[in-house]
């Protein structure tokens, strides 16, 4: 098969449409300015895109792989998941759909705290075994790079086991690990924040176990002052940072994160004009998680208004057992069109180049020379199927670094 020719030139032909945003962060109206090349070809050399253009002008190559008239788009990048956990939240789900609020379940010691108990009792090997099928599902849905957070560790040892599980899985998947400071203990929170800043973050940074630090800034989690303390500790340790904010209340976390230069602020379901203006005026990516809107019945984050204000928007699944049991990055893209008001082209930019920027990654997310050859061959000759189809995957095969990794 052509996939074995990793170092030699391989020319992919039979592409009905080759569709991509330009490389790099796209904000505002630029998110809609994607390139569509009809009857295209793509040359891949050493796992990197070497040339794209009309098939009639394609260069000669040692190997040719005919994709049979399919549309090709960049591999999706899922910038927000909690794919490592143990236990389940099925009784929380049943209570919630009978009328008990997510925050009330958490305040009573359930929700995230329930997943923390199950995760703390799991070994690293258990966590790897539980996360693998979830990551395979995301990959089959089109994710060629996936962020994975810790955050269900009741104590620091459990947090480190979660990050070690991610490190183990990095040999099978392209993963970006994030240290998530999720909820404080029920007593001794000042001491906990101190230990996070002085012990956990420096230890994780020194071991190279996380690429960024995240905090859940919310009434039932960390307040703005605590969040600032933790983000400043991340900065001192040389780690970029991001934030969960404006999911239930606007506490000021979004404004703080923009001010401190966060990579992204994620959730934003209840963001208003002040938060939209702060994001639009910053380099911080606004990451939407439409699975949460669907599963918790929350308001939809103001995706349309963010883009119209000039912000850079990304989209992710937020795969987790409590607020978004969504195992498909393509579904998150498709939901962002329905729930957050993105156009299909904006949603494609959100799930590729902007998601890469939300993770601080360069060199992937677009199909252009010099970019890693991560791409999806759709079960369709029209790229818009990636934003249209619900409930069955429009993704035919998944290529990472020029190799077909479909199972
Ligand atoms: O991104 N909101 C906070 N954290 C996760 C949910 C975690 C959970 O419910 O287990 C989120 O929605
Ligand atoms: Fe999350």
Q: Tabulate helix, strand, coil % of the chain (nearest 5).
A: 40, 25, 40
Find the 292 Cα to ligand 1 centroid distance in Å: 9
Q: Does 353 share its domain with 383?
A: no
Radius of gyration of the chain (CA): 21
Find the 365 Cα to ligand 1 centroid distance in Å: 26
Determine the atom of ligand 1 nearest the C-alpha atom of 266. 1
Q: Does 149 share its domain with 290?
A: yes
Strand, helix or coil for residue 400: strand
Question: Where among 326, 343, 358 does a domain terminate?
Answer: 358
- Tokens representing residue 296 in the block: 């918790």
Binding residues for 4-imidazolone-5-propanoate: 89, 152, 182, 247, 323
Indicate the pLDDT class of residue 6, thresholds 50, 70 and 90.
Answer: low
d(CA 311, CA 122): 40
For residue 2, is pLDDT > 70? no
For residue 86, is pLDDT > 90? yes
Cβ distance 250 to 243 under 8 Å? Answer: no
Find the 86 Cα to ligand 1 centroid distance in Å: 14
Task: Note the pLDDT of residue 407.
Answer: 81
Mean pLDDT of the chain: 97
Determine the atom of ligand 1 nearest the C-alpha atom of 85. 10
Q: Does 154 share its domain with 281?
A: yes
Find the 89 Cα to ligand 1 centroid distance in Å: 12
Helices (H), 322-396: 329-339, 344-350, 353-358, 385-388
Find the 323 Cα to ligand 2 centroid distance in Å: 8
Q: Does 301 share its domain with 369?
A: no
Q: Does 56 share its domain with 198?
A: no
Q: Whose CA is nearest to atom 3 of ligand 1?
A: 216
Q: Which ligand is nearest to the CA of 322?
A: 1
Residue-wise pLDDT tens digits, 174-200: 999 999 999 999 999 999 999 999 999
Q: Does 152 share its domain with 45?
A: no
What is the span of the domain harbouring residue 82?
A: 77-358
Helices (H), 121-243: 124-140, 156-169, 189-195, 201-207, 224-236
Q: Does 29 share its domain with 150?
A: no
Tell the residue number behind the tokens 């061959």, with chain if given.
377
Q: Whose CA is nearest to atom 6 of ligand 1?
A: 323
**Is pTM, for the whole model, over 0.95?**
yes
For residue 292, is pLDDT > 50? yes
**Ligand 1 pocket, CB under 6 A:** 82, 111-112, 115, 216, 244, 247, 292, 318, 320-323
- Tokens representing residue 204 in the block: 């994780």
For residue 297, is pLDDT > 80? yes
- Tokens representing residue 20 in the block: 């991509």
Could you tell me the CATH number of the domain that includes residue 335? 3.20.20.140
Residue-wise pLDDT tens digits, 131-150: 999 999 999 999 999 999 99
Task: Note the pLDDT of residue 68.
Answer: 98
Strand, helix or coil for residue 114: helix
Cβ distance 333 to 315 under 8 Å? Answer: yes
CA distances from 2 to 264, 296, 380 (A): 38, 45, 22
Task: Note the pLDDT of residue 28.
Answer: 98
Q: Does 51 share its domain with 141?
A: no
Q: Which of 320, 321, 324 to mutate to test the pocket of ligand 1 (most atoms within 8 A of CB)?
A: 320
Binding residues for Fe(3+): 80, 82, 244, 318
C-alpha atoms less than 13 angstroms from C-alpha of 268 in its C-beta half-sphere: 35
- Directed axis angle between helix 273-280 and helix 253-260, to 10°? 10
Cβ distance 350 to 112 under 8 Å? Answer: no
Q: Does 18 share its domain with 149?
A: no
Q: Does 59 share its domain with 89?
A: no
Q: Which of 323, 324, 332 to mutate to test the pocket of ligand 1 (most atoms within 8 A of CB)?
A: 323
Beta-carbon count within 10 A of 165 CB: 27
Residue-wise pLDDT tens digits, 352-379: 999 999 999 999 999 999 999 999 999 9
Could you tell me the CATH number of the domain that includes residue 29? 2.30.40.10
Question: Number of folded domains in the chain?
Answer: 2
d(CA 4, CA 402): 9
CA distances from 221 to 34, 90, 185, 399 (A): 39, 22, 9, 39
Q: Does 117 share its domain with 161?
A: yes
CA distances from 177 to 59, 93, 213, 257 (A): 38, 27, 9, 19
Binding residues for Zn(2+): 80, 82, 244, 318
Per-residue pLDDT, averaged over 317-343, amounts to 98
Give the residues across from 215 on adjacent strands.
Answer: 181, 243
Find the 323 Cα to ligand 1 centroid distance in Å: 5
Binding residues: 80, 82, 89, 152, 182, 244, 247, 318, 320, 322-323
Per-residue pLDDT, averaged over 196-214, amounts to 98
Determine the atom of ligand 1 nearest the C-alpha atom of 102. 9
Q: Does 130 share its domain with 9?
A: no
Find the 312 Cα to ligand 1 centroid distance in Å: 23
**Cα dihedral 111→116→121→127 (10° resolution):** 100
For residue 5, is pLDDT > 70? no
């Amino acid at each position: 098969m052509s996939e074995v020719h990793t170092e030699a030139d391989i020319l992919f032909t039979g592409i009905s449409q080759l569709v991509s945003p330009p490389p790099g962060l796209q904000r505002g109206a630029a998110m809609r300015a994607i390139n569509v090349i009809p009857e295209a070809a793509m040359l891949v050399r050493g796992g990197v895109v070497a040339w794209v253009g009309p098939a009639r002008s394609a260069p000669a190559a040692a190997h040719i792989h005919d994709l049979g008239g399919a549309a090709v788009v960049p591999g999706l990048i899922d910038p927000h998941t909690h794919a490592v956990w143990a236990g389940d939240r099925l009784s929380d789900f049943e209570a919630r759909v009978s009328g008990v609020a997510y925050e009330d379940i958490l305040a009573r010691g359930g929700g995230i705290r329930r997943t923390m108990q199950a995760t703390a009792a799991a070994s690293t090997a258990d966590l790897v075994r539980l996360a693998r099928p979830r990551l395979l599902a995301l990959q089959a849905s089109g994710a060629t790079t996936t962020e994975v957070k810790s955050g269900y560790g009741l104590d620091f040892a459990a947090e480190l086991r979660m990050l070690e599980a991610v490190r183990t899985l990095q040999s099978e998947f392209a993963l970006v690990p994030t240290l998530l400071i999720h909820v404080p203990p029920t007593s001794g929170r000042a001491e906990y924040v101190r230990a996070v800043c002085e012990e956990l973050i420096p230890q994780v940074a020194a071991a190279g176990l996380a690429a960024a630090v995240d905090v859940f800034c919310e009434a039932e989690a960390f307040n703005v002052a605590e969040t600032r303390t933790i983000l400043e500790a991340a900065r001192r340790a040389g780690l970029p940072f991001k934030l969960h904010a404006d999911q239930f209340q606007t506490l000021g976390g979004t404004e703080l994160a923009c001010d401190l230069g966060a990579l992204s602020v994620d959730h934003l379901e209840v963001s208003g004009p002040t938060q939209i203006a702060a994001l639009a005026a910053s380099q911080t990516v606004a990451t939407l998680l439409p699975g949460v809107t669907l599963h918790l019945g929350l308001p939809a984050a103001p995706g349309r208004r963010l883009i119209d204000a000039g912000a850079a928007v990304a989209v992710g699944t937020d795969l987790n057992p409590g607020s978004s049991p969504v195992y498909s990055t393509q579904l998150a893209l498709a939901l962002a069109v329905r729930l957050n008001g993105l156009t299909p082209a904006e949603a494609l930019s959100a799930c590729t180049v902007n998601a890469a920027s939300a993770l601080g990654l360069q060199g992937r997310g677009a199909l252009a020379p010099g970019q890693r050859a991560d791409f999806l061959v759709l079960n369709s000759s029209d790229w818009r199927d990636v934003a249209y189809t619900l409930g069955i995957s429009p993704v035919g095969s998944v290529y990472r670094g020029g190799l077909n990794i479909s199972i």
